[in-house]
Structure 1
């Protein structure tokens, strides 16, 4: 699996998030989604750069280009999460979970507890 998002800047990640959220997007649509948006031409340049890096593909739709992600969102999310665990928790998933369960961050809902219990049960059973 490719190490998704490895070499992206903050702005490039924001652009990818916009494309993922919309499924596919034009430069104008991406521009609408960006906080403190740069110029339209800067967004077009970043979209081309993301395409050159292999993160986006595009098709011409009349006078505009429609951009779509090459890597499925789940794969990109999984890769980013693994990198976060490696970087901030010494590769320990247990330390990452412990940080999420910190009582200072607020209590988990009953539904979140059930979900976690089910995940742990399935892990124990090897599923």
Structure 2
């Protein structure tokens, strides 16, 4: 498993997932309250060493990009959140999401979730 990310490393990854790729300068511009250019460059190098990023050279600058597709990274992050904040309980995580006032699911979304729960139950019973 890849190393866990710090808050700032997650911010960098969010920027790169949103843009697809970016130079150090572009990442600096997109960061709220950015550290120095050299600090961002160092963080990107660390993320590359951890296996989260790769780079290509364009002229004199490096262009960084994620090594995983966003859905794969999201699944991994979600597993860590469920484990860390909900003791591994999917039920507690889903309950927390569904009881938020901002959560509004359409009838179609509720039907898809019900179907997924039914399929999961069938699979577990088999």
TM-score band w.r.t. shorter chain: 0.7 to 0.9
Q: TM-score, normalised by structure 2?
A: 0.83
Would you say 1:51 and 2:53 are equivalent positions? no
Q: TM-score, normalized by length of structure 1?
A: 0.83
Per-residue deviation at 1:86?
Answer: 1.2
How many correspondences in the alignment?
123
Residue 16 of structure 1 pairs with residue 13 of structure 2: yes
Query: Please, which moves more after superposition, 11-20 or 115-124?
Result: 115-124
Runs of 4+ more than 6 Å apart: none
Superposed displacement of residue 106, structure 1: 4.8
Cα deviation, residue 52, structure 1:
1.8
Q: For structure 2, list consecutive stretches of 5 or more residues without a partner in the other structure.
A: none
Question: Cα deviation per residue 1:76-108 (whole Å; 9 max; x = unaligned)?
Answer: 111111111112222111111111121645543
RMSD: 1.9
For 1:19-58, what per-residue CA distance to the aligned partner results, in whole angstroms no more than 9, with x for missing partners?
Answer: 1111111111111221111122211111111112221111
Higher RCO (CA 8 Å, separation ≥ 6 residues)? 1
Deviation at 1:61, TM superposition (A): 0.3
Which consecutive residues of structure 1, in runs of 5 or more, have no partner in the other structure? Answer: none
Is 1:102 aligned with 2:99? yes
CA distance in 2 between counterparts of 1:29 and 1:103 reads 35
Match of 2:24 in 1: 27
